[in-house]
């Protein structure tokens, strides 16, 4: 079996979800869902459009005609039956709207709510599209599942939250006062992704999607991609962050309780807080690696329903 889509497509699918997730993170922060005065309410808007834009640019390089006949690319919007056409339209408009929202936020101008909200709809569509694109391919049994868009969507939110937290901690002057809320959001997203992944891999490994899908699943569980699947995706991408966020969340609640009782002075907290933020950065980076590994594994484990060689 030849693999037709390589790293550029993997990066594109990852960045598509990442940018959309970053936008949605800042939106959630702006709405107050991530706590009051969240430090995340700008950076996701700055990076959402550009990240998806970079991903799309990389995809153009992957097209056979990206350099030879780039004028053909306008045709990408012509077949309204093709999921890829939907994606082209969704991504193009999201990049434009996302960048407008980011720019207006950057220069501190009021943003018309129609811009913000159409950005939200487009971001949701972008995140879902990256999974839906491959889930409609019946000739690849491993992709032929409605769970794939769900996993990709949750991973988009999770990685988007992580990149926004990571960059906000560098860019924003005021540090986050809502660690507890952010950790809880991380926990919910990663737990949901873990459940969806277990369901997906379980279904594929069970053989109900056919022997070829089972073979793909075995490539991940016990085959040539097992190290990446268990080590990077499940271990570093899901379990490790889940544990760190859970511990941080519980500690945070304990600290809050102590402070409420009237205990600690600020100075005493400086040491542990700094250590914690380095750990948070490492963990957020770990989430990004897991999200990237997810796209790579799903694309590279694709096996065709018939290999084009074997006959009875």
Partner 1 sequence: MDKSNQLNKISRRSLLKMGALAAGALAVGVLPGQIAGADPDSPKYPEQLGFMYDQTKCIGCRKCAIACKSANKWEEGAKWRRVMSGARPDVYLSMSCNHCENPVCVAVCPVKAYKKRDKDGIVIHDKEVCVGCKYCLYACPYHAPQYSEATGRITKCHFCYERQAKGQKPACIEACPTQALTFGKLVDLQKTPGGVAQIQWLPAPELTKPSLVIIPKQ
* Binding residues vs partner 1 (CB under 8 A): 2, 4-5, 63-66, 68-69, 72-73, 75-86, 88, 90, 121, 124-125, 128-129, 132, 134-140, 143, 146, 149-150, 153, 302, 304-306, 308-312
Under 8 Å between Cβ of 259 and 213: no
Supply the minimum distance, in Å, between the C-beta of residue 226 and partner 1: 23
Nearest distance from C-beta of residue 163 to partner 1, angstroms: 21
Which own/partner contact pairs does 220-227 have at CB distance under 8 Å and 24+ positions apart? 220/297, 220/301, 225/297, 225/300, 225/301
Biggest alpha carbon–alpha carbon distance for the chain: 78
Contact 152, 127 (CB under 8 A): yes
Q: How far is the CB of 115 from partner 1 (least distance, A)?
A: 17
Residue among 52 and 90 whose Cβ is closer to partner 1: 90
Nearest to 179 by CA among 286, 288, 280: 280
Contact 48, 102 (CB under 8 A): yes
Write out the two tokens for 15: 């960045």
Residue with Cβ nearer partner 1 (88 or 178): 88
Q: Which is nearer to partner 1, 68 or 114 (CB)?
A: 68
**Cβ distance to partner 1 smaller for residue 50 or 304:** 304
What's the rounded Cα separation, in Å, for the pair 130 and 144? Answer: 14
How far apart are CB 131 and partner 1 at their closest, in Å? Answer: 8
Q: How far is the CB of 212 from partner 1 (least distance, A)?
A: 10
Q: Pick the closer one to partner 1 by CB: 5 or 103.
A: 5
Q: CA angle at residue 281 from 31 to 253, to 5 degrees?
A: 60
Question: Cβ–Cβ contacts within 10 Å for residue 282, how many?
Answer: 13
Q: How far is the CB of 133 from partner 1 (least distance, A)?
A: 8
Cβ proximity of 62 and 3 under 8 Å? no
93 or 239: CB nearest partner 1: 93
């Amino acid at each position: 079996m030849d693999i037709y889509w390589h790293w550029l497509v993997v990066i594109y699918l990852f960045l598509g979800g990442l940018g959309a997730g970053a936008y949605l993170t800042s939106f959630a922060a702006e709405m107050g869902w991530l706590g009051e005065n969240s430090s995340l309410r700008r950076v996701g808007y700055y990076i959402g459009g550009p990240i998806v834009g970079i991903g799309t640019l990389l995809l153009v390089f992957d097209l056979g005609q990206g350099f030879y006949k780039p004028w053909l690319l306008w045709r990408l919007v012509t077949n309204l039956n093709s999921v890829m056409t939907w994606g082209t339209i969704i991504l193009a408009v999201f990049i434009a709207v996302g960048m407008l929202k980011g720019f207006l936020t950057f220069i501190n101008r009021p943003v018309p709510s129609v811009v913000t909200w159409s950005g939200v709809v487009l971001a949701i569509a972008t995140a879902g599209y990256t999974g839906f694109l491959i889930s409609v391919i019946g000739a690849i049994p491993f992709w032929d599942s409605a769970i794939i868009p769900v996993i990709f969507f949750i991973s988009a939110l999770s990685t988007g939250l992580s990149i926004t937290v990571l960059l906000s901690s560098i860019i924003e002057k005021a540090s986050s006062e809502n660690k507890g809320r952010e950790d809880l959001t991380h926990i919910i997203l990663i737990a949901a992704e873990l459940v969806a992944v277990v369901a997906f891999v379980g279904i594929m490994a069970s053989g109900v999607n056919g022997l070829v899908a089972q073979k793909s699943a075995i490539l991940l569980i016990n085959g040539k991609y097992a190290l990446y699947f268990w080590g990077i995706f499940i271990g570093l991408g899901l379990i490790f962050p889940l544990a760190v966020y859970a511990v941080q969340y519980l500690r945070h609640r304990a600290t809050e309780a102590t402070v409420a009782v009237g205990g600690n002075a600020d100075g005493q907290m400086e040491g542990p807080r700094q250590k914690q933020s380095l750990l948070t950065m490492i963990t957020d980076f770990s989430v990004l690696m897991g999200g990237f590994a997810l796209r790579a594994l799903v694309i590279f484990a694709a096996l065709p329903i018939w290999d084009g060689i074997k006959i009875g």
